Structure 1
């Protein structure tokens, strides 16, 4: 009797595992399709379509930082700077070592004529590059910071 229950339990566990694998494979396939669609639409400069595709990916997997960055880029292309800033800040909040988010946020702030805020963000990006042992990239940021400081003094 005990062997029969053990056998039934094992069979149910295997069936459940197969179901879960199938579900996650389907979800991954759907996500990948929307992601690729978003990339293609972005490259074709169909930013509204790309935005919709990236939002569908986020609806399925809200923790994908790369998609949030791409959505932010797409929003920037449409002049939706505040929304883009929100996306970049969300990535920084969740993944504070993701330098790309800082760089994109600084670009958005410059577009909003907020050079002091952009300088603060760029300094953080430079510090991250130093911590990540990428001194050449940190030096590029420092040169950019000098250019911004010079330009803001001139105006």
Structure 2
């Protein structure tokens, strides 16, 4: 590369940069399109197709917690509770501040008559939000926890 004139090196860098931008633009457009199709299928209660599209989005971007939660919801609608629980736990492990993941996991456990486990999950979340001083999430969580505990005590 030392033999290339400086102009040639600049051209190569520009071409590489433009190619990268095009690649990421296409990838983003495709991900958004698949996500929207999954949402559309979910809203029309076609959960099998929604699952298929959410899994495709995850294959492209495995760190999108919203899609993992929606996939869990889709699995719940198909009575695949264990698979949904696994998705919710995956999100909690990766992003413990996602209160929706804790609530969805607790709900799934309640549907399986695992009240103690659901309460334990919510208490763990309560401790986490308390330690991080997430006031809004903590208040919401305490309210839900009180309702559940009063039902099962």
- TM normalised by structure 2 equals 0.90
State the Cα deviation string for residues 121-155 of structure 1 (Å, max 9, x = none): 11233344542121xx53443343233333333xx
Q: Which ranges of structure 2 fall in alignment gaps of 5 or more residues? A: none
Does 1:69 find its partner at 2:85? no
Residue 15 of structure 1 is matched in structure 2 by: 15
Q: Distance between the aligned counterparts of 1:22 and 1:115, measured in 2?
A: 50
Residue 95 of structure 1 is matched in structure 2 by: 95
Secondary structure in 2 matching 1:45: coil
Q: Distance between the aligned counterparts of 1:96 and 1:32, measured in 2?
A: 25
Distance 1:98 1:144, change over 3 A: closer
Post-superposition offset of 1:3: 9.3
CA contact (8 A) 1:34 1:56 kept: yes
State the Cα deviation string for residues 80-105 of structure 1 (Å, max 9, x = none): 00110111111111111111111111
Q: Which ranges of structure 1 fall in alignment gaps of 5 or more residues? A: none
Residue 24 of structure 1 is matched in structure 2 by: 24
Aligned counterparts, 1:76-155, within 5 A: 76-130=76-130, 131-134=133-136, 137-153=137-153
Distance 1:146 1:4, change over 3 A: closer
- TM normalised by structure 1 equals 0.89
Alignment root-mean-square deviation, CA: 1.7
Q: How many pairs were matched up?
A: 150
